[in-house]
Structure 1
Amino acid sequence: MSFQGYLDNIQAKTGQSPEDFKQLAGQKGYTEGGVLKATTKAGDIVKWLKEDFDLGHGHSMAVFALLKGIKKEGDK
């Protein structure tokens, strides 16, 4: 599955767009100025998304990659 496919599935399941997750991560204190804080670990994001959105590890890691800037919308 492509990275964009992961994002599409996440949005279908949660109703939240990638931009929504970026805003929510800021509200949770995981990002500052749109950038993932150095103190935020992948496990923090995975735990949050599992608890609040019932996302699995793979989908949560896709959101983490998006927040960290490793991947962006439209990537394959």
Structure 2
Amino acid sequence: MSYQAYLDALEAKTGRTPRELLDQAHERGFGPTSRAADVVAWLRDDYGVGRGHAMAFYGVLKNGSSISDAHVGSTGTHRDASTELHLDGVAAREPNSR
């Protein structure tokens, strides 16, 4: 699963875009220096999110929306289309950018 696919699935599970979840995280005092286990516990307890999806979100919380270009342009299920993740939700993207 690509990094973006994890975030899209997180949106489907929670009903919140990654950006909305970032806002909630900041309201709860979470940020780049927060412990991953605390963020994972919050997403599990409030939304029923599994560890893999929570860790993808934690990566955005910690590092921002830019990812390594290691999987960009590669083939297979882990391929991302860009080094910039879309945080405003699936509906906000143009149909051909998914």
Give TM class, smaller chain: 0.7 to 0.9
Task: Tell me the residue number matched to 1:29.
Answer: 29
Structure 2 counterpart of 1:65, from 43, 46, 59? 59
1:7 matched to 2:19? no
| Uncovered stretches (5+) of structure 2, i.e. residues with no partner | 68-83, 87-98
Task: Tell me the residue number matched to 2:70.
Answer: none
Work out which of the two has the higher radius of gyration on C-alpha atoms and give 1 or 2. Answer: 2
Q: Deviations over 1:10-38 (max 9, x none)?
A: 1111111110111001110012xxxx2x2
Secondary structure, counterpart of 1:24 in structure 2: helix
Structure in which a larger fraction of residues adopt strand: 1
1:55 matched to 2:79? no
| Uncovered stretches (5+) of structure 1, i.e. residues with no partner | none
TM-score of the two chains, using structure 1 as the length reference? 0.81
TM-score of the two chains, using structure 2 as the length reference? 0.64
Structure in which a larger fraction of residues adopt helix: 1
